[in-house]
Amino acid sequence: MPRAIEIVEVGPRDGLQNDPVLMPTEVKIELVERLIDAGVRRMEAASFVHPKLVPAMADSDTVMSRVPRDKGVKYIGLALNERGMRRALEAKCDEVNYVMVASEGFGKRNQNATPEESADLFDRIAVLAHDDGVPVSVTISVAFGDPFDGEVPVGTVAMLAKRAAAAGAIEIALGDTIGVANPWDVRARIDAVRHVAPDVRLRMHFHNTRNTALANVHAAVEGGVDVIDASVGGIGGCPFAPKATGNVATEDVVYMLERAGFDTGLDLGKLIETAKWLETEGLKHPVESMLSKAGGFPA
């Protein structure tokens, strides 16, 4: 049997949060439904942050009340603080993803917290998800570099991973928030996290800001990681990171992996159709993915 790689679709959350177009709720639901039809079974669908800070996510409670619940899909809600955690649980998210931050410059602007403070907060609020029986994962943001402070020590990333595991995170994602990672650094940070949290599943989150995202996905998969974040069309970015551009495109990742013999369980043709729908109807502006332009392997 081919090795399975799980793709976590982040388009409905990370893909839309920084887009200049504020997508109406009903169109968001259509996006979710299209992704489900393409085979997506785990996706970020909501972000429970202050609506004044991220207006594109202001309808997250409504979105979660309307997403299909009978398709075997696990919906992830993002939380940065206790209020966000409680809202995500009230909205019946199947999983809550909490964000720790690996550098103070970005942390103060994004969460008003240092790395240690973001870990301390997770210690206090993870119990809310545990009490409700809801899995909680942790994304370590700016794990490869900070737009304000520059280099991020591997030791800081390892410290946060150890804290996340100790507080009960079921999965740790390393986030290349500003798209500065390279394949060798990816392997080094995977190894460092595995050393301190050997029993926790790893996930990788790459942005294609400097055209290294697919190479980084390859490095992660070669390093034994089986869970990859991606966003249909390559849409996305972070409102708090200067010059942040989109996530690695789901269809580009799926093409590379399936041509190499891996199983993603996703329908490449339907993903390409969804990316084209984003261009013409959903967002009504061009998207970044290569496969939406070139198509799959020639028949």
93 given a catalytic annotation: no
The CA distance from 114 to 27, in Å, is 36
Q: Which two tokens stand for residue 27?
A: 């169109």
Per-residue tokens: 82: 């206790």
User: CA 83, CA 96: separation in Å to the nearest integer?
Assistant: 12
Residues 89-99 as b/e (b if ≥16 CB within 10 A, e otherwise) read bebebbbbbbb
Q: Rounded to whole angstroms, what are the CA distances from 210 to 177, 180, 207?
A: 12, 7, 8
The single-letter code of the amino acid at 299 is A
Question: How many angstroms separate the CA atoms of 70 and 62, rounded?
Answer: 17
Pick from 56, 254, 122, 201: which is nearest to 113 by CA? 122
Q: What is the DSSP string of 101-121?
A: ES-HHHHHHHTS--HHHHHHH
CB atoms within 10 A of CB 61: 16
Q: Under a CB-based contact definition with an 8 Å cutoff, are residues 179 and 215 in contact?
A: no
Catalytic residue among 238, 244, 271, 287: 238
What residues act catalytically?
A: 238
